Amino acid sequence: MENKFDLAVVGAGIIGLATAYKFQLKYPQLNIAIFDKAEAVSAHQTGRNSGVIHSGIYYKPGSFKSKNCVDGRHQMVAFAKKHGIKHDECGKIILATTPEEVKLLENIYTRGQENGIEDIELINPKAIHEIEPHVEGLKAIKVPVTGIIDFTGVCKKLAQLIQELNPKSQLFLNTQVRGSITGNGKNILQTSKGDFEVGKKVFCAGLQADRMAEMEGLKLDCAIVGFRGDYYELTDKAKHKVKHLIYPVPDPAFPFLGVHFTRMTDGSIECGPNAVFSFKREGYSRTSFDLKDTVDALSFPGTRKLFAKHYQKGMEEYKRAFSKKLFLKALQKMIPSLEMDDLQAARSGVRAQALLRNGNLVDDFQIEYGPDSVHVINAPSPAATAGLAIADGIVERAESQFGWKEEILN
């Protein structure tokens, strides 16, 4: 077969490309095919997130999130410096605006110390004003190692480096993987551009992760549910009100970090995102709808249990998605001087979140295995920050799963 490769990586977001890159670095002779149905790399979660290099302060000590975020942050900054990727280690503050939030903030600070986050400190209102003059709060954590980066630029560079390491490796865009057949000692991936014979497979399919796993015959105890996040942007007259990154204290009962201010690498200031159930996995407008995606999500028992558990919070988020006034009100908790005409509507993204049947979210990274395949099922934030470290783990696990030995392949 003409379309024959040693390894297939499905998904050209940052996890897929980082994984292909780490495989190619370790095994330069491997011919790797990377497939994505989009027209460009990083078309979905990677290219539509906040563009933040996370510190690792929030995550449970010892978790995959915690370990990979800190390792991944160091790798990502080094990669950006080496290859000229736009980035800035600008730092952020996590802001408490009520006495209840102060207690939660102190818990986050303790967790950050346990995770070994460098140079974090608790600061008072005076110190807050020195960093962010327009912010009002009772207490904050200063996190100097948080940064911003062009993750799409990272992905483009990874794709370039893979093909420099082995010109026989190829990136197939506009190529949807539709089926997988194993038999007669061969693995065949059926795609919109024909069949490909591949040795082994790594699926980093994000919003389609569970469907790719089921296509391969895996039985999962979870399903992917999409949550759309909408962003606003500060107008030119209001940009001076944000100097760095400003985050609220996250609600411990809700799995997302809350609307925040992010200074982007292009100089714009984004505000958001919120988090609402998406009726289309890759739907980036407030009215996006796909019947299959909606039926799949609402027929899964975990979705209904999640809605019942977080009904009030969910309704608040959904109202805010359609109300600029409510969005502004959430932002004014941190910067009271913001006005309605300081905000203009910007882009949206959809997060892929694995949800268990009991309605609980899968809180950590999750990887599953088939006989000749590895599947990244759950890779929520900080997956982009942690991408290069996650890729190291995938390579290590794949070597064990596939029985590969470095000395044999070299």
Specify the pLDDT at position 199: 95
Sign of CA dihedral 211, 377, 175, 166: negative
Specify the pLDDT at position 310: 83
Give me the percent of the chain exceeding a pLDDT of 90. Answer: 86
Tens-digit pLDDT profile for residues 142-198 = 999 999 999 999 999 999 999 999 999 999 999 999 999 998 889 999 999 999 999
Tens-digit pLDDT profile for residues 71-83 = 999 999 999 999 9
**Greatest Cα pair distance in the chain:** 71
Tokens standing for 298?
Answer: 């609402």
Tens-digit pLDDT profile for residues 328-341 = 999 999 999 999 99
CATH fold for the domain made of 4-46+152-221+364-409: FAD/NAD(P)-binding domain (3.50.50)
Specify the pLDDT at position 281: 96
Q: Strand 245-248 vs strand 222-234: parallel, antiparallel, or unpaired?
A: unpaired
Question: Residue 312: which pLDDT band, with cuts at 50, 70 and 90?
Answer: confident
Are the beta carbons of 123 and 96 closer than 8 angstroms? no
DSSP state of 97: -
Specify the pLDDT at position 291: 97
Instruction: Provide the residue ranges of all domains of the chain, joining segments of one domain with +.
Output: 4-46+152-221+364-409, 88-147+223-356
Tens-digit pLDDT profile for residues 232-243 = 999 999 999 999
Answer yes or no: CATH 3.40.50.720 is held by domain 88-147+223-356.
no
Question: Residue 410: which pLDDT band, with cuts at 50, 70 and 90?
Answer: low
Helix axes 387-402, 64-83, angle to 10 degrees: 110
Tens-digit pLDDT profile for residues 83-111 = 999 999 999 999 999 999 999 999 999 99
Query: What is the Cα gyration radius of the chain?
Result: 21
Sign of CA dihedral 258, 389, 21, 362: negative
Residue 184: CB atoms within 10 A of its CB come to 6
Q: Strand 139-143 vs strand 92-96: parallel, antiparallel, or unpaired?
A: antiparallel
Question: Residue 295: which pLDDT band, with cuts at 50, 70 and 90?
Answer: very high
Q: Which residue's structure tokens are 């201010």?
A: 261
